[in-house]
Structure 1
Amino acid sequence: MGSTDFAVAPPPDRRPHRVRAAVRVFGEVLITLGLVLLLFVFYEVYVTDWFTARKQDDASRRLDQQWRAPGPPPPAPGEGDAFARLHIPAFGPDYRFTVLEGTDPATLAAGPGHYSATARPGEQGNFAVAGHRIGKGAPFNDLDRLHSCDALVVETATEWYIYRVLPLAEEAPSWDSRAAYPKCRGVAPIGVPYDQAVGRRIVGPEQGEVIHPVPGRPRDTLPKDQQTRLITLTTCHPEFSAAQRLIVHGVLVKRYPKDPADTGLRPPELEER
């Protein structure tokens, strides 16, 4: 019997299969990471808002009870205590947040928090308040929409304090053309040493001097009795990031005492839009 030679076929190239398997695994990992990211965003934006809304409601009820109680207002609030309300009419008639003492994470999860080392509402110096921009109620989400002269109304047990956003840096050279507007009465660029106190600024997270009595200057720049009455609102910038801080500065232009006999009396500035 004769022999027959057979050609030996080479083994199949499995590299394409390995590449496809690697691509499939990589794609599944990306999908999983995307789902995790979506869940995180959903939690931060919606779930934390729900928890904060409950905490804010509780703080507001406690503040109302405190204000209705007979006798003088209580002494300086402790960490996490509610003591004032912030109204920003430009954001609509329903915009009002109870302000709590302190800026620790637990306090800011319930609403805007007062930097404890800064001035009290209406005092000479700088009444500074922090708030979240995304999630946890996002009380300061729209700070970048504020314009110069917009009202920032702070309500306490006995007073209404009307602050207004200071001129933006680019508006200062031509401010005289706006000074006659009714909303801008009492608002003007402030000279040295307040030259860094402008309506809106973006700063680094390390620039804590924005909440000093004279923003941007050392704390002892001016004696207290020579300090301007300011308000400063701070939040993260840009949205979904803590890389920078968005800062809004305002100046006190008016105050109204509360009338205990007429609890429905409200400043006309609350009707501005």
Structure 2
Amino acid sequence: MKLPRQFVPPKRDPVRTAVRTFGEILITLGLVVLLFVVYEVYWTDLVSAGKQRDAAAALDSQWKTKEDPQRQDHFTGLGEGDGFAKMYIPAFGADYEFTIVEGTTPASLEIGPGHYTNTAYPGEAGNFSVAGHRVGKGAPFNDINLINSCDAIVVETQNNWFVYRALPKAEEKAGWAEGKGREAQCQGVSVLGGPYADVIGQQIVTPSDGLVVAPVPGSETAPSAGEQAALMTLTTCHPRFSDKQRLIVHAVLVKQWAKDPAKPTWTPPELKETV
């Protein structure tokens, strides 16, 4: 029996069907990517913020209960993820503060900036090296590409404040002493010589370049005791949302302030160098 005209199903246009299906797939993929971005950037930030608060609270408690009468800092017996110092970058604002933890495993870096375990500790000769995420998981090093030469990186330990300042960038080395090097903020910062002649304030390297955290960054040769400088190195992924390269910042120790038990609320003047 022939169906009435109004009941005859319309013929499907294969091109239109394919376009619609492709569009639905793109929408689905877009939603998946959006959810991933929300998770990676926002949700992991919230999780890491909680872990960072816990680490800071634990460190504050430790500093109050485990005091050394000699007022010496001790970094022995640290376990993966244990907090041992605090880091401030005044140029990023008065609220930039992160507890540095031991180790650079994924679990440690979810807490905050992590110390490369085989490198120096705050204030020591050598290369105190710290890694941190640039996107998500707290993103403590999201803006370290904005660190300029002579910007302060202040590290607080139980008994001391250590002030590191970023070294001159490659394009600033020539004429440093007659140019920016004369600024008051750059006191103690110079173009390094000897075994450190190739060390600059900022560089981009491949992930396999582990020598950036060596005692002399970029070199397999350890300097003699008399030549050894006290450096700090920050490392993070580059560019943002990628791990194809590493962005490196090198700084040099220029000042140490010993804490005075009689002035527990005192902070170094370098913390006021905010913009």
Q: Hey, what's the Cα distance between the residues in 1 that align with 2:199 and 2:11?
A: 65
Q: Which amino acid aligns with 2:196?
A: Y
Q: Which amino acid aligns with 2:19?
A: V
CA displacement 1:188-233 (0-9 Å, x = unmatched): 1112421332111111111111000000000x43134531100000
SS of residue matched to 1:236: strand
Question: Measured at CA, do residues 256 and 184 of structure 1 come closer, stay the same or move farther in structure 2, by a change above 3 Å?
Answer: same
Q: Hey, what's the Cα distance between the residues in 1 that align with 2:210 and 2:15?
A: 52
SS of residue matched to 1:206: coil
CA contact under 8 A between 2:98 and 2:113: conserved in structure 1?
A: yes
CA displacement 1:158-196 (0-9 Å, x = unmatched): 110000000000000021212221110110111242133
SS of residue matched to 1:127: strand
1:87 is matched with: 88
Aligned-pair Cα RMSD in Å: 1.6
SS of residue matched to 1:175: coil
Question: Measured at CA, do residues 249 and 15 of structure 1 come closer, stay the same or move farther in structure 2, by a change above 3 Å?
Answer: farther
Residue identity over aligned pairs, in percent, reads 56
SS of residue matched to 2:101: strand
Shift of 1:258: 0.8
1:67 is matched with: 63
Does 2:198 align with 1:196?
yes
Question: Measured at CA, do residues 105 and 226 of structure 1 come closer, stay the same or move farther in structure 2, by a change above 3 Å?
Answer: same
CA displacement 1:244-265 (0-9 Å, x = unmatched): 1110000000000111221101
Gaps of 5+ in 2: 1-9, 69-73
Between structure 1 and structure 2, the one with the greater Rg is 1
Gaps of 5+ in 1: 1-13
Q: Hey, what's the Cα distance between the residues in 2 that align with 1:255 and 1:189?
A: 20
SS of residue matched to 1:111: coil
1:223-262 residue pairs with structure 2 within 5 A? Answer: 223-262=224-263
2:209 aligned residue (207, 210, 227): 207
Shift of 1:15: 10
Q: Which amino acid aligns with 1:186?
A: G
2:71 is matched with: none
CA contact under 8 A between 1:166 and 1:251: conserved in structure 2?
A: yes
SS of residue matched to 1:264: coil
CA contact under 8 A between 2:75 and 2:84: conserved in structure 1?
A: no
Does 2:47 align with 1:47?
no
1:106-185 residue pairs with structure 2 within 5 A? Answer: 106-176=107-177, 177-185=179-187
Q: Hey, what's the Cα distance between the residues in 2 that align with 1:49 and 1:148?
A: 29
Q: Which amino acid aligns with 1:268?
A: P
CA contact under 8 A between 1:124 and 1:225: conserved in structure 2?
A: no
Q: Hey, what's the Cα distance between the residues in 2 that align with 1:57 and 1:164?
A: 26
Does 2:31 align with 1:35?
yes
Q: Hey, what's the Cα distance between the residues in 1 that align with 2:85 and 2:272?
A: 19
SS of residue matched to 1:174: coil
2:99 is matched with: 98
CA contact under 8 A between 2:81 and 2:108: conserved in structure 1?
A: yes
Q: Hey, what's the Cα distance between the residues in 2 that align with 1:174 and 1:140?
A: 30
Question: Measured at CA, do residues 74 and 149 of structure 1 come closer, stay the same or move farther in structure 2, by a change above 3 Å?
Answer: closer
SS of residue matched to 1:117: coil
SS of residue matched to 1:226: coil
How many residues align structurally?
A: 259
CA contact under 8 A between 1:114 and 1:128: conserved in structure 2?
A: yes
| Runs of 4+ residues over 4 Å off in structure 1 | none
Q: More deviation in 233-242 or 183-192?
A: 183-192
Q: Hey, what's the Cα distance between the residues in 1 that align with 2:196 and 2:165?
A: 16
SS of residue matched to 1:173: coil
